[in-house]
Amino acid sequence: MDPRDFLQIARDILGNDVSANCRTAFNRLYYAAYHVGVELIEEAGVKIDRNAQGHNQVTKYFNNCGVNDLVVAQQKLVNLYSDRIKADYRLNHKSVEKIANAKKALKTSEDIIKTFDSFASKSEKQKIARGIKNYLNKISR
């Protein structure tokens, strides 16, 4: 499955301004960007755990890969993650029920994916792999 398909799901449900739709959109938008990031890291040759630890690994690896554009995209992904947590688990947070906020999140998710996709070449993936391996070597000392 292509995780970018989650973007279309979010677009579709945002056509109806209902609180539950907005909350669901935040969830799908986060996971669209997250899974594209996972694919990029794994295509660079670095394994991501398929459990809750995977979220932390994606954050650590992008934040420490030495590529500024990916660090910026990762910070946006962390913000989407925070909103997803509010949407899924904090029903008293009303900001994730507003259509305007969900549409901003859609744009953010699209921007993150565009950044991740810009590193699709073999040479860019090799750069990411080197940066992550350097990071892993530093923390294992």
5-139 placed in CATH 1.20.120? yes
The Cα-based distances of 108 to 7, 48, 92, 101, 141 in angstroms read: 11, 23, 23, 10, 36
Compute the chain's Rg from CA coordinates.
16
- pTM of this structure: 0.94
Q: Give mean pLDDT in consecutive 10-residue pieces for the chain, a chain of 141 residues.
A: 93 92 97 98 96 94 97 98 96 95 98 98 97 94 74
Paired tokens of 13:
């449900």
Residue boundaries of the structural domains of the chain: 5-139
Q: What is the model's pLDDT at position 86?
A: 97
